[in-house]
């Protein structure tokens, strides 16, 4: 089944994510807010090196990989709404002479192969 995730949906999802971190009353303490506030954590890990640093193995969505990530954690931080900011993707300008065919970078909305009938 094909799915089309529009830019508006991505923006909506980002706003909902940030709002979820605030909870119903962002001024409440965690103890008072209880389960009405989502708690999201971010961690860094994997102190070991990979065989090839330029080509690390693909992430696998499995229970063993999930539980194994706890063994490799180095640092853990709770993400608060105040820690988040919405950003847009950076696209560096490239001179048309440096690209194939001299067209330069074409933004997604101006691509010739974008159409309502093409969903994937």
Average pLDDT, the chain: 77
| pLDDT at residue number 74 | 92
Phi (first) and psi of residue 104, to 5 degrees = 75, -170
Token pair for 113: 């192969």
Instruction: Give the whole-angstrom CA distance, residue 28 versus residue 41.
Output: 19
Compute CA 81 distance to the chain's CA centroid, rounded to the nearest angstrom: 15
Residue closest to 17 by CA, chosen among 79, 89, 88, 90: 79
| Per-residue pLDDT reduced to its tens digit, 61-74 | 888 888 888 888 99
Residue 120 has pLDDT above 60, yes or no: no
| pLDDT at residue number 113 | 65
């Amino acid at each position: 089944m094909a799915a089309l995730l529009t830019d508006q949906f991505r923006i909506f999802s980002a706003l909902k994510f940030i709002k979820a971190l605030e909870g119903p009353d962002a001024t409440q303490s965690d103890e008072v807010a209880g389960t009405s506030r989502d708690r999201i954590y971010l961690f860094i890990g994997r102190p070991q090196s990979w065989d090839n640093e330029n080509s690390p193995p693909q992430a696998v969505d499995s229970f063993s990989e999930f539980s194994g990530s706890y063994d490799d954690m180095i640092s853990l931080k709770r993400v608060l709404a105040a820690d988040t900011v919405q950003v847009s993707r950076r696209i560096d300008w490239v001179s048309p002479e440096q690209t194939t065919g001299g067209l330069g970078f074409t933004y997604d909305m101006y691509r010739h192969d974008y159409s309502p009938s093409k969903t994937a």
